[in-house]
Amino acid sequence: MLANRYIINESDKCIYSKVQNGKGVMICLYVDDMLIFGTSTNEVEETKAFLSKKFDMKDLGEADVILGIKIIRDGNHIGSSQSHYIEKVLQKFNHLDFKPISTPFDQSVSLQLNKGCPVAQLEYAKVIGCLMYAMTCTRPDIAYVIGRLSQYTSNRSEEHWHVVKRVLKYLKGTMNYYLTYSGDPSVLEGYTDASWVTYVEDHASTSGWIFNLGGGAVSWRSKKHTCIADSTMAAEFIALAAGSKEAE
């Protein structure tokens, strides 16, 4: 690849690009899947021909689903959706005919460690795993509650199950949501926030940051702090530092 003047992206080694006279091609690799972007169809066709000479590959045409994420084209917008995946998850855990709820998490519920013996641990771990995949790919809105719930995977009580149910119900109502990108504005915008002492048992705060590019969210995280902040300002500052790290 490099011999043919493709350049490796330094921050993500799976991306190769080649730009010549204002025309460019980008290739994204993930294990055995590949996406090719180009400024024109000609460029893409050329790249395909070049690659198929060197490697044994199958052309699946215009990209539809990659890594379980559906690519949606809507006018001049492009979007990524996981509605089919979420539907499958709901079906798997028999939540397809529950009444939808409009918020993922009720602030008045205080989740605490279970002092008793664990209940249906495997099922809980399974549902958290499924939801976490949706969360990391296309659903920043449930990041907080998933992060919160996953801390009790080793020992959960009945109360935690109710919260999981609520998330499933929320997802049912918002199953058809997808992240859209319109390409405008084309600058990176970051947002950071923190909430002070969200965890009653160990006084830890939570921080969150999100980056928007081309209108849609591209990167996000909700994280429990590793150190204890003594004020709201300190908590916000920790969030700011974490967000800046990603920006760098």
Partner 1 sequence: MAPVSIHCDSQSTLSKAYSQVYIGKSRHIGLRHSYVRDLISNGVISIMFVRTKKNLADPLTKGLKKDMVLKTSLGMKLKPISNWLPIVETQPTLE
Please report how close the Cβ of residue 191 comes to partner 1 at its closest, in angstroms. Answer: 4
Q: Are 2 and 8 in contact (CB under 8 A)?
A: yes
The amino acid occupying position 185 is P
* The one among 53, 54, 99, 115 contacting partner 1 by CB under 8 A: 99
Q: Are 85 and 177 in contact (CB under 8 A)?
A: no
* The one among 26, 27, 152, 208 contacting partner 1 by CB under 8 A: 208
Binding track, positions 115-154, relative to partner 1; x by CB under 8 A: -----------------------xxxx-xxx---------
Q: Which of 34, 217 has the CB closer to partner 1?
A: 217
Please report how close the Cβ of residue 98 comes to partner 1 at its closest, in angstroms. Answer: 10
Q: Are 208 and 198 in contact (CB under 8 A)?
A: no
Does the footprint of partner 1 cover residue 82 (CB under 8 A)?
A: no
* The one among 83, 151, 153, 219 contacting partner 1 by CB under 8 A: 83
Q: How far is CA 169 from the centre of its chain?
A: 19
The contacts of residue 88 (CB under 8 Å, 6+ apart) are none
Q: Are 49 and 90 in contact (CB under 8 A)?
A: no
Gap between the Cα atoms of 168 and 164, Å rounded: 6
| The two structure tokens encoding residue 210 | 């999100």
Q: Which of 38, 104 has the CB closer to partner 1?
A: 104
The 3-state DSSP class for residue 21 equals coil
Q: How far is CA 16 from the centre of its chain?
A: 23
Q: Which of 165, 221 has the CB closer to partner 1?
A: 221
Q: Which of 57, 233 has the CB closer to partner 1?
A: 233
* Subset of residues 153 to 192 that bind partner 1, contact rule: CB under 8 A: 172-182, 187-192
* Interface stretch with partner 1, choices 28-36, 42-50, 60-68, 213-221 (CB under 8 A): 213-221
Does the footprint of partner 1 cover residue 212 (CB under 8 A)?
A: yes
